[in-house]
């Protein structure tokens, strides 16, 4: 089997996993064009790797799976791109010119902890793996590697994000976990009754919109508008008191003669 030599580490790496995987991709006609040929809604992946051959293999494999890929060949550019927040996942080498991969990993974890970083490196020692995972890496893959496995790991990390986002709502500093029914505003946990929770969920789902009392009644209480009831106003008052404080009022605005809106004052 042909061997590839990594100039930076002077370690020999088997070409087989890359070449085999990419041969299948090219032969099957799955390689997509770049730029305008890729659907804008495709998950965006940042690849920070200074070996052009690896960049080419990985980029084409990810694009064949429907991802958009942007590559950086050094640590300085890689960190700048990583901190823009434009990417759904990052594939990161640790040994890079200009900026160490561990420093990039720490910076990304501080700025955008929800973005998964998959480390792809020749550093195979247990201490290195532990250090990478402790620094915030979501996964750690050692060279030589199978590109098919890397693609599968990227997909797995994106599934975790999708499942987490489907179970949470957030806005105006408020975060609601729909599975555990936990509510936080900033660093503070807020205890809500069942009806208060349902009212908050409704307002979050319509964040920025003006919703009428009739809409709130139908959704939260399940019955048509009764002109004699002030139950919506009462429960909005409960929410305001529990979510707000003296120096930081709850972001629930009254729209005169109409209803309410969750959002900052306009």
In the chain, the largest separation of any two C-alpha atoms, in whole Å, equals 82
Question: 31 and 57 in contact (C-beta within 8 Å)?
Answer: no
The helix (run of H) or strand (run of E) holding residue 202 is: helix 194-205
pLDDT at res. 223: 66
> E strands of 122-265, at which residues?
139-142, 168-171, 174-177, 182-185, 188-190, 210-212, 252-255, 259-262
pLDDT in tens, 46-93: 999 999 999 999 999 999 999 999 999 999 999 999 999 899 999 999
Does residue 161 have a pLDDT over 50? yes
To the nearest whole percent, how much of the chain has pLDDT over 90? 62
Query: Does residue 34 have a pLDDT over 90?
Result: no
Q: Are 212 and 259 in contact (CB under 8 A)?
A: yes
Write the pLDDT tens digit of every residue in 198-242: 999 999 999 999 999 989 988 888 765 565 688 999 999 999 999
Rounded distance between C-alpha atoms, residue 118 and residue 145, angstroms: 13
Position 45 pLDDT exceeds 70: yes
> Given a cut of 80, is residue 158 above it in pLDDT?
yes
Nearest alpha carbon to residue 53 among 106, 5, 102, 10: 5
Across residues 8-32, what is the average pLDDT?
36
Is the model more confident about 94 or about 112?
Answer: 94
Q: Could you tell me if 79 and 99 are in contact, meaning their C-beta atoms sit under 8 angstroms apart?
A: yes
């Amino acid at each position: 089997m042909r061997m590839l030599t990594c100039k930076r580490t002077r370690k020999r790496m088997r070409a087989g996993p890359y070449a085999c995987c990419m041969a299948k991709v090219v032969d099957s006609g799955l390689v997509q064009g770049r730029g305008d040929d890729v659907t804008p809604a495709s998950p965006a992946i940042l690849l920070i790797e200074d070996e052009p051959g690896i960049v080419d293999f990985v980029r084409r494999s990810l694009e064949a799976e429907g991802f958009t890929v942007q590559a950086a060949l050094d640590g300085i550019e890689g960190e700048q791109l990583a901190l823009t927040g434009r990417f759904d996942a990052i594939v990161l080498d640790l040994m890079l010119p200009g900026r160490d991969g561990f420093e990039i990993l720490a910076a990304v974890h501080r700025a955008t902890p929800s973005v998964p970083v998959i480390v792809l490196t020749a550093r195979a020692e247990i201490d290195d793996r532990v250090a990478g995972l402790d620094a915030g890496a979501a996964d750690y893959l050692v060279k030589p590697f199978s590109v098919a496995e890397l693609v599968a790991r990227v997909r797995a990390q994106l599934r975790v994000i999708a499942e987490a986002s489907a179970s949470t709502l957030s806005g105006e500093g408020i975060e609601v976990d729909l599975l555990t029914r936990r509510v936080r505003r900033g660093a503070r946990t807020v205890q809500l009754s069942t009806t208060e929770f349902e009212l908050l969920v409704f307002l979050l789902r319509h964040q920025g919109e003006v919703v009428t009392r009739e809409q709130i009644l139908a959704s939260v209480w399940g019955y048509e508008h009764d002109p004699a009831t002030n139950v919506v106003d009462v429960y909005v008052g409960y929410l305001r008191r529990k979510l707000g404080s003296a120096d930081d009022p709850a972001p629930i605005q009254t729209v005169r003669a109409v209803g309410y809106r969750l959002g900052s004052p306009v």
